[in-house]
Amino acid sequence: MAKLISGKEVSAKVRAEVKEECEALKAKGIRPGLAVIIVGDDPASRVYVNNKKKACAEVGFVSEEYALPEQTSQEELIALIGELNSKPEINGILCQLPLPKHLDEKAVINAISPMKDVDAFHPSNVGRIMIGDYHFLPCTPAGVMEMIKSEGIEVAGKNCVVIGRSNIVGKPMAMLLLHENGTVTICHSKTKNLKEVCAAADILVAAVGRPKFVTADMVKDGAVVLDVGINRDENGKLCGDVDFAAVEPKASYITPVPGGVGPMTIAMLMKNTLMAAKIQNEL
């Protein structure tokens, strides 16, 4: 029987720490501010944005929402980002992805000031993560690392396998495990012997976006299994990338879906915004 790593519990602890630090900043006349831009009315994006606003209220941040219509032009969006870049009371800027098809995601990410890029998607922040000299970490991989640390799981010298090579999760996840001296393999759609590679992992991170993709025969006895996926199964029920019922008896630690990595993402966003406020106020 695996021990469940609860994202609800770990994220509550992170948010409580952020709230405490926010109180200390307020005593100095500083209140961290996060601006969230949402273009169009994607229902999943709307849920995320509402959750971010709730988290800001909980920790004591100022939160501003910019809900733009679906047909917003590239120029209008870039102009808004320019305004927010120069607004001193806004420390973090987040543009909810995916954007409508006619907008250039890359140009939008590049327009956000690296010092306010609390998603850590700007190329200069990505480069800093690569060399291990960073201010911000992408929220989901940072949340996974926080969960690993919360259980005192040692990464150094372990075989770590990340399934998925996205810029948002897979690649930065591999870098963070590498910074902790893990021996890291990234698997993707072109990987040969995927099952064998995964079955050799001491720490397995699934970020592939396919329901119940990781089956019991892909998991080594006693492995630590971290499930980043949020999918719907054939019955429309929320599930992860890992076949939880089959894998849980083999693993030593496992994250559930929902209630695992999900809540960590927003908690780490709060941590990044706090860090941005400190840097911008030279603290």
Give the whole-angstrom CA distance, residue 255 versus residue 225. Answer: 7
Ramachandran angles phi, psi of 220, nearest 5°:
-75, 145
Residues with Cβ within 8 Å of residue 19, at least 6 apart in sequence: 58, 59, 60
Catalytic residue among 13, 28, 41, 119: 119
Catalytic residue among 13, 19, 26, 52: 52
Catalytic residue among 13, 26, 41, 96: 96
Give the whole-angstrom CA distance, residue 88 versus residue 98. Answer: 27
> Which of 120, 92, 99 is closest to 38 using CA atoms?
99
133 is catalytic: no
Q: Which long-range contacts (CB under 8 A, 24 or more apart) does 122-125 make?
A: none
Helix (H) or strand (E) holding 161: strand 159-163
Give the whole-angstrom CA distance, residue 152 versus residue 266. Answer: 22
Largest CA distance in the chain: 57
221 is catalytic: no
Residues carrying an active site annotation: 52, 96, 119
